[in-house]
Structure 1
Amino acid sequence: MRNLLIVDDEVYALQAMVEGINWRLAGIDRVFSAGDAEEARMVLQSQSISIMISDIEMPGETGLDLQSWVLKHAPGILTIFLTGHALFDYAQTALKLNSFDYVLKPAQADQLLKVVTQAVDKLKAGEQRSRTNEIYESVYKRWQTHKPLLTERFWKDAISQRVTLTRPRLKELAEVYGAEIDPHARILPIVISVEEWVREFDLRDEEVLEYALRNAAREMILGDRPGEVFQDHSGLNIVLAYEKDGVVPAASQVAQNCQLYIRECGTYFYCRLSCYVGAPVAITELQGLLNELMDMERRNIRELEGVFVYDEQGKKPEDRFLPIPWFSELSILFETGKVDDLRERVEEIFELLAAQEQLSPEILRLFYHAMLHVVYPLLHQKNVSVRSLYPGEREPEESMVTRSLPQLKLWSLDLIDRVIPILYPDDHSPMTIVDQLCIYIENHIGEDLMREELASFAGFNPAYLSRLFRKEKGMSLSEFILQRRVDKAKTLLSESTVKVTDIAGKVGYYNYSHFTKMFKKCTGITPQEFRKQSRTV
């Protein structure tokens, strides 16, 4: 709403201006009047006035005095002065008092209407500018608030592998995100790897702690130096220390800061960390160096909670691939439910892995997936969900399980302790592989049972199977087979009329002389003598 105040000590002139002009044509909603400055001030204090038309020459306080008051108490009002004298000094004073215009009396209606219309247009333009400025201020404040986030997004895109980071590409990204980046400056990158949370947290708590870790890195690693701390798309926390006044922080000093950072985070944030410190590089070379640091982090599966400084000259050669042939053996041990043997074999495997000078991270991931490949079919056969292994818990993530050899070992032993009770509840005694093998031998007693064939059935190497069989049965595998063949032959000799030569074939002997020799070795008599004695009895 736009209101107009007309101030004049001449009553008829005031009435003519108030009632004789259609102010709505100028965009005025309401018109107020006053006969002197005091009355005008009362109106100004009680009403919302946009434009004031005031006579200059009035008894007592002049229109100029009134304008001085308006400038102090309502500076947004546009004032149009009226006077009967075209004196230059009045005009000068009016201009100094920031009046909108200066009209000589007697003023024509159309002239006043025109001036007020111009004043309304000025007010509209000012309001539009104010709205524009408000929008700008709001956007600017939001931009300032989100500037750290925009800078973080800039770096995430800048170091991603989607594009090569050339100077033109760097400039383009900086413009998109409004990031203030010097493309010629050098940067020292540090990669922070969370190796393990020493307490159980849900996903939200972990995110909060990761945020706290980044804030702590900003304070303890960067200190008062310019830089950025953010989490990349893979989940690694990255610190970028910027060049300042031509100087990049020394890697040795940063390494000391990282040592303190690791200790403090272990104490207050319940985690184990490692830091991988790079070398000063141009921004266009940052992607390559970060890849090197991430490769250092990926391949470090032995030394945890440490600070590792990048050394181009001292880079380790590529790891060798170590085959792991033990999973058929572990599968059998899982199937038979022999917890102690299974744990013992896993311990032996990890001792073997720990003895390798160059152990590849791929081996850890291969072991992880092979263990799951062994367990999943067994659970499926029991109609058991894999999820049931971790009731009310988060299933361990591959990246954390395979982070180091000790963590993989702990996970493997824990997996055994979780799977075996589900496969074999307390009221069910699992059948050992040796028991299964004995049943297999009974069912194939008439065949030529070779040790290699039996080892293949059990999924073990022949030597290990022989040791395992003697441990459980107290006799060798060959002794057991001989015993079962002779027992089967005794049954056939005493309970059937099958020829002795045919009986030899039915119990796996295709050479009659050899059958007679082995039978006599076990019983002290020949097969014919045994049949005669059994029939006599």
Structure 2
Amino acid sequence: MLNVLIVDDEIHFVEAVKRMVDWAGLDVANVYTAYSSSSAEQIFQAHDIHVLLCDIEMPQRTGLELLEWIRQKELRTVPILMTCHADFRFAQEAVRLGCSDYLLKPLSKEELETAIRKAALIANREQERMEAQRNKLWWSHQQDMNQERFWTDLLSETIPANRGDFLREAAARQISLCGDAEVLPILLVVRHWHRDFRVRDRKLLEYALKNAGKELIGKLSPGNVFVPVGSEAWLLIMPVATDRRIGESGLAMMCRRWVEFCRTNLYCELTCYGGQAIPGFEVSSMLHRLLKLDRNNVNGVGYVSLEAENRSVDASAALPDMSGWAALLRQGVKERLLEEAAAFIGSLRQRLDIDSRYLLAFKENFLQMTHAVLQQQGVQAHLMFCDEGSLRLSEAASRSLADLERWLAHVVAKAAGYAQASSVGDVVEKATRFILSNLDQNLSREAAASHVYLHPDYLTRLFKKELGCTIPEFIMRERMKLARQLLAHSELPVSAVSMASGYANFSHFAKLFKQQTGLTPVDFRQSERRGGANGKVEIASG
């Protein structure tokens, strides 16, 4: 069933057309009317219009201008133009804008219905074409999902990795595979993002990454399938035609172009690991070989072939002596320490005989050295390095030299300020500044100790030595100072003074205040105001 829109600035003409035509006989469900181009646009935005009957000459905007708007919006509408003037220029423009008919007023019933029937036929064909296109896209999407599920089940060994089960399952799922067909697996891994993206934005970039791969690799072999094999890792499975083998040089060139495109346009470091042509049922074993290449690609090479499996690894490669680095860390000379560490990592980039196990051993030694230096200063390392950012960098540190260098810079930046021997007074000053800046918060000795990465008991001993009081005693003393100041010099209600001093429970605040001053908060305020200039208020420091 079709929708028709009649547009003419003559209301009587529009009504006459509505009465004249046998709309049901033309398979028309709805007839909409408008008396100007702007009104017609509003109807287009609210309904699907299949056939348009439109006058050319109308005030403000002509029917030709309305057709131009329809064309710009790419609407699937078949237009019929009506006019009182047999002007060749109008007819020529109508043809350019895709009109199916150009009618001269006055119109007969037969002439009008013939034009509408012709336009309806065109509209129906367009609907059928669009429906076929939607069905094709849906089927293509279903086929892609079907193939992805098939290969995922093979990789997870839900489908046994032998030729018979492989072919039987492929036939059952309508996967087109020849008995002796081979595939070429390529492992793709995003090793690093140059920016922090929201999850939704990252998914869009991953979609663009796969589309770019289909464009580039599709030139070598159509019918590729992307199968997720981990976080930000996919296995690209390429069918290999017997009469069109893919050369290693061609594959390497396409993969390097892909890597460069991702670095330049998608803000990520992509690495490709090229396998070799194998029977489809052997994909799982090939994936394990490619994943091993990824674990040992510590130099972050953009394209790695299976030939790298034959590279020898020096299991006895010496780790650096870090005693000098420990001394630099104690002295707080972080720039020099980072320079020396970066120089050592730079020397590793020239070597091809180290793998991820070497980086892991280096990382553990460096972390042990850092913890030992921090321990000498009474700093608790877990308070410093257990935040989400630190853990994420630590997890990635043994993947590549670049990741290791980022982790080193992070560790040194956080540790240098606390590894250097500081006076007791400096540590206590940092803690008291934190307390004075957060008197209205839920303070505790644990929170103050965490701020300076020390154990609460140890910081309490430092407070007693420097200030002659414990941390809770210092907090209460400063809160009472602040409360006296606010009561004497502000118009805040007593309940607001209680909150500003860090006491959510007013009764508890009033009780403590009376214990400290001998007066209730209200009596203290009245006493201060009666005392006038003679009253002295102790101001909270900081």
**TM bucket, shorter chain:** 0.3 to 0.5
TM-score under structure 2 normalisation? 0.45
Greater C-alpha Rg: 1
